[in-house]
Amino acid sequence: MKALQLPRKLFELFTVEHQDRARALLSVLALSATLGLMSADALKRFEYVLYDYRFHFKDARPSDPRIVAIEISDDSIAKIGRWPWGRDWHATLIQALTDMGASAIVFDVVFSEPSAPEKDAALEEAIRRSGKVYLAEVIEGGLRGEGERTLLTSLPELTRASRGAGHINIEPDIDGVMRRIPLAVDLKGVRIPQLALSVAMDEYGVRPEHVHYEGRDLVVPFPSGGGIRVPTDGRGNYLIHWVGPWAKTFTHYSYVDIITSYAAIQKGDKPVLPIDAFRNKICFVGVSASGLYDIRPTPLEPAYPAVGVNLTIYDNLMSRRFLKPMADWQSALLLLVVFGLMLRILRMKSYFRCAFSILGAMVGYVSMAFFVFRWADVWVSVVYPVFLMMIQSFVVTVYNQIAITVERTKLVKLATRDSLTGLYNIGHFKLLLKAEITTISMRREKSLSIIMGDVDNFKKTNDTYGHLTGDQVLKEVAATVKANCRALDVAARYGGEEFIVMLPGANIDEAFKVADKIRKSINMKVYFNEKGDFQTSISIGVTQVDPDEKDIDAIIARADRALYTAKHTGKNKVVVATDSPIVHPEKPSGA
| Residue 388 forms part of a structural domain | yes
209 a catalytic residue: no
| Residue 406 forms part of a structural domain | yes
Rounded distance between C-alpha atoms, residue 368 and residue 364, angstroms: 6
Q: What is the mean pLDDT of residues 348-369?
A: 89
CATH number of residue 562's parent domain: 3.30.70.270
Stronger pLDDT, 88 or 7, i.e. the higher one: 88
pLDDT grade for 147, boundaries at 50, 70 and 90: low
- Number of CB atoms found within 10 A of residue 133's CB: 27
Residue 584 is predicted with a pLDDT of 52
- The verdict on 32 and 162 lying in the same domain is no
pLDDT grade for 14, boundaries at 50, 70 and 90: very low
Residue 501 is predicted with a pLDDT of 96
| Residue 119 forms part of a structural domain | yes
- The verdict on 555 and 463 lying in the same domain is yes
- The verdict on 82 and 228 lying in the same domain is yes
Q: How many domains is the chain partitioned into structurally?
A: 3
Q: What is the mean pLDDT of residues 95-102?
A: 95
Rounded distance between C-alpha atoms, residue 116 and residue 88, angstroms: 10
pLDDT per position as a tens digit, 399-426: 777 777 777 777 777 778 888 998 989 9
- The verdict on 48 and 72 lying in the same domain is no
- The verdict on 531 and 564 lying in the same domain is yes
Stronger pLDDT, 403 or 307, i.e. the higher one: 307
- The verdict on 26 and 101 lying in the same domain is no
Residue 559 is predicted with a pLDDT of 94
- The verdict on 442 and 550 lying in the same domain is yes
pLDDT per position as a tens digit, 415-468: 788 889 989 899 889 999 999 998 888 888 899 999 999 999 999 999 999 999
CA–chain centroid gap for 134, Å, is 47
pLDDT per position as a tens digit, 202-243: 999 998 889 998 988 999 999 888 899 999 988 889 999 999
pLDDT per position as a tens digit, 61-84: 788 999 999 999 999 999 999 888
Angle made by CA atoms 154, 160, 165, in degrees to the nearest 5: 55
**Residue 536 structural domain:** 417-576
| Residue 237 forms part of a structural domain | yes
- The verdict on 312 and 443 lying in the same domain is no
- The verdict on 389 and 267 lying in the same domain is no
| Residue 505 forms part of a structural domain | yes
- The verdict on 238 and 372 lying in the same domain is no
pLDDT per position as a tens digit, 564-578: 999 999 999 999 998
pLDDT per position as a tens digit, 151-164: 999 999 999 999 99
Question: Helix 328-346 to helix 383-416 angle, to the nearest 10 degrees?
Answer: 30
Residue 585 is predicted with a pLDDT of 46
Contacts of 44 (CB under 8 A, 6+ apart): 173, 174
Residue 400 is predicted with a pLDDT of 75
Residue 13 is predicted with a pLDDT of 46
Supply the DSSP symbol for 588. P
- Inform me whether the pLDDT recorded for 8 exceeds 60: no
| Residue 588 forms part of a structural domain | no
> In 3-state terms, what secondary structure has residue 526?
strand
Average pLDDT, the chain: 87
- The verdict on 120 and 262 lying in the same domain is yes
> In 3-state terms, what secondary structure has residue 111?
coil
- Final residue of a domain: which of 378, 413, 448? 413
Residue 130 is predicted with a pLDDT of 96
Cis peptide before 245 (omega within 30 of 0): no
- Final residue of a domain: which of 320, 344, 374? 320
- pTM higher than 0.75, yes or no? no
Rounded distance between C-alpha atoms, residue 103 and residue 173, angstroms: 34
Residue 4 is predicted with a pLDDT of 39
- Final residue of a domain: which of 320, 349, 373? 320
Residue 19 is predicted with a pLDDT of 63
Query: Do 171 and 232 meet the contact criterion of CB atoms below 8 Å apart?
Result: no
Residue 432 identity (one-letter amino acid): L
Q: Which residue of the set 497, 510, 549, 586 is catalytic?
A: 497
Q: Residue 316, class by beta-carbon neighbours within 10 Å (0-12 exposed, 13-18 middle, 19+ buried)? A: buried
Strands (E), 372-484: 378-379, 424-425, 448-455
- Inform me whether the pLDDT recorded for 282 exceeds 60: yes
Residue 582 is predicted with a pLDDT of 66
| Residue 589 forms part of a structural domain | no
- The verdict on 382 and 469 lying in the same domain is no
| Residue 582 forms part of a structural domain | no
**% pLDDT > 90, the chain:** 55
pLDDT grade for 36, boundaries at 50, 70 and 90: confident
